[in-house]
Chains A and B, each alone.
Chain A
Amino acid sequence: MKHLLATDGLDPRLATAVLDTADELKKTLLGREVRKLPTLRGRTVVTLFYENSTRTRVSFEIAGKWMSADVINVSSGGSSVGKGESLRDTALTLAAAGADCVIIRHPASGAAHRLAGWLAESGTAVVNAGDGMHEHPTQALLDAATLRERLGTLSGRRVAIVGDVLHSRVARSNIHLLTALGAEVVLVAPPTLLPVGVSALPVTVSHELDAELAALDAVMMLRVQAERMHGGFFPSAREYSVAYGLSEQRLKMLPEHAVVLHPGPMLRGMEIASAVADAPSSAITEQVRNGVHVRMAVLYHLLAGEEEK
């Protein structure tokens, strides 16, 4: 693996290898006093964040540090990015300074791909930590890791992705990864929050959450991305919540083994009832915990292997 830019087109065998590595790392580190491995000693990992994010950045930073890499955080506020430097120049600077891996979060879809193109010569690996409305592959991998842990396997499982699919890179990455790993995906959203061309995706679509619940193995709630909405996508927060929020009543309609996921940050009371978020079916804190192990596994597969050339 040279870069991790998207789950679209990701080899399912490679995805499974990353998930297996994450499992082993989790077991290896469980109950340890010193959670530090020498695996990536001497490698430099830079997080380059043009958008705010706490959990993703911290999770990558911890992952790198637990494997003894040197981790440097660059955010758009306190750097030359704020002075107007282009993404390309920033990237070339980082590569020239010796970064082995750049982890990028950017508001523009496709930014990670452009970066990988510019850095092709330098051999610096690129990880997409969320680009606009396009993809967020490590989030999909950690969701898959969490579902595998709870359900045993993804093959043949039915997973609903509920809410603002249109603006969600998490949804897009999950659709590709979950179907590649053998799960069935159903998108549940109002027609206004579904992307154009949804019929080309390997999913089924529904506008009725209640009708789907009984047959699901997992429900993945999405955040309503108010900051990306510049128009009326639904009449009111209240109406959205009534139609697509995961309430306690809806939780009861799910099979007992079903898992509830949310990529965070949650709008409690709107997308998901507070009691549901804290119920035993909810794997939301496990998602965060698995995020660290999955990102360690990604860094391992990108940086520990044979040097090309």
Chain B
Amino acid sequence: MASRPRGAAEPDGERELLSAGDVARTIARMAHQVIEKTALGAESGEPPVLLGIPTRGTSLAGRLAERIAEFAGVAPPTGALDITLYRDDLRRKPTRPLASTQLPGTGIDDRVVILVDDVLFSGRTVRAALDALRDHGRPRSVQLAVLVDRGHREFPIRADYVGKNVPTSRSEEVLVLLSEVDGRDAVVLRGKGEGA
């Protein structure tokens, strides 16, 4: 473990990787990184557009935008991008309900778009998101922000902003819990998955 190891094993082989406080600090750090990398503030032009991938990516995008507004004084537009219809593994999983796609009024043409998701794993979700984006417009550039990078990529995709790198085995499960959806903030590693 890079930071404080949280060895105290919880029931069912669960281990807490990030506490609520860690999640808040991680998001704050990522907000600073976004400000730095996109040269926000000073004489910058338009702020980047934050597009969350439902469900937890949308909440994360909202929180990231709040922190950015707090630190840089510029509120980036946010939205949600549902990628279900673009997945290439639809036939291998049960039918998923669709979530909403909501693009900010400013649109995404010629803007810097930051895709926000909770966990980066195979990269298939991000690949689908890039396809979905292409149908909605032509961003100037696209960046990727994730709270947890757990490895096991199947595409040449890397994130521009990573909250925490977590080396995992494929049989493990990384759960990002957010108060908007799950009632509390935490990142949990569950040991005995049923195979990825």
Q: Is A151 an interface residue (CB 8 A)?
A: no
Q: Is B85 an interface residue (CB 8 A)?
A: yes
Q: Of residues 138 to 186 in B, which have CB atoms within 8 Å of A's CB atoms?
A: none
| Chain B, residue nearest A24 (CB) | B98
In the bound complex, CA of A47 to CA of B73 (Å): 57
- Are B93 and A32 closer than 8 Å at their CB atoms? no
**Size of chain B's interface in residues, with CB distance under 8 A?**
17
- Are A27 and B95 closer than 8 Å at their CB atoms? no
Residue in contact with B94 in the complex, picked from A32, A38, A306, CB distance below 8 Å: A306
Q: Is A76 an interface residue (CB 8 A)?
A: no
List residues of chain A with CB within 8 A of the CB of B98: 20-21, 24-25, 28
**Can you list, as one digit per residue, whether each of B88-100 has a CB less than 8 Å from chain A (1) or not (0)?**
0011111101111
Question: Contacts A27-B100, A28-B101 known; A305 to B86 CB distance under 8 Å?
Answer: no
- Are B101 and A305 closer than 8 Å at their CB atoms? no
Residue in contact with B85 in the complex, picked from A32, A38, A301, A306, CB distance below 8 Å: A38
- Are A34 and B135 closer than 8 Å at their CB atoms? yes
Q: Is A15 an interface residue (CB 8 A)?
A: no
Q: Is A267 an interface residue (CB 8 A)?
A: no
Q: Is B131 an interface residue (CB 8 A)?
A: yes
- Are A304 and B135 closer than 8 Å at their CB atoms? no
Residue in contact with A306 in the complex, picked from B95, B97, B99, B136, CB distance below 8 Å: B95
Question: Contacts A34-B135, A38-B85 known; A305 to B93 CB distance under 8 Å?
Answer: yes
Q: Is B82 an interface residue (CB 8 A)?
A: yes
In the bound complex, CA of A217 to CA of B136 (Å): 37
Q: Which of A20, A25, A28, A32: most chain B Cβ within 10 A?
A: A28
Question: Contacts A305-B93, A305-B94, A306-B93 known; A28 to B86 CB distance under 8 Å?
Answer: no
List residues of chain A with CB within 8 A of the CB of B82: 24, 28
| Chain B, residue nearest A22 (CB) | B98
Q: Shortest beta-carbon distance, A115 to chain B, in Å?
A: 22
List residues of chain B with CB within 8 A of the CB of A37: 85-86, 135
| Chain A, residue nearest B99 (CB) | A24
Residue in contact with A305 in the complex, picked from B85, B91, B100, B136, CB distance below 8 Å: B91
| Chain B, residue nearest A14 (CB) | B95
In the bound complex, CA of A306 to CA of B92 (Å): 5
Residue in contact with A28 in the complex, picked from B85, B94, B95, CB distance below 8 Å: B85
In the bound complex, CA of A34 to CA of B137 (Å): 10
List residues of chain B with CB within 8 A of the CB of A17: 97
In the bound complex, CA of A267 to CA of B5 (Å): 75
- Are A304 and B97 closer than 8 Å at their CB atoms? no
Q: Is A256 an interface residue (CB 8 A)?
A: no
**Can you list, as one digit per residue, whether each of A6-34 has a CB less than 8 Å from chain B (1) or not (0)?**
00000000000100110011011000101
Q: Is A192 an interface residue (CB 8 A)?
A: no
- Are B135 and A305 closer than 8 Å at their CB atoms? no
Q: Is A227 an interface residue (CB 8 A)?
A: no
Q: Shortest beta-carbon distance, B65 to chain A, in Å?
A: 22
Q: Is A49 an interface residue (CB 8 A)?
A: no
- Are A304 and B101 closer than 8 Å at their CB atoms? no
Q: Shortest beta-carbon distance, B139 to chain A, in Å?
A: 16
- Are B101 and A39 closer than 8 Å at their CB atoms? no
Q: Of residues 256 to 309 in A, which have CB atoms within 8 Å of B's CB atoms?
A: 300-301, 304-307
- Are A20 and B97 closer than 8 Å at their CB atoms? yes
Interchain residue pairs with CB less than 8 A apart (6): A24-B98, A25-B98, A32-B136, A36-B135, A38-B85, A305-B91
| B positions within 8 Å CB-CB of A | 82, 85-86, 90-95, 97-101, 131, 135-136
Leading 9 A-B pairs by shortest Cβ distance = A305-B95, A24-B98, A304-B90, A39-B85, A37-B85, A306-B94, A21-B98, A28-B101, A301-B95
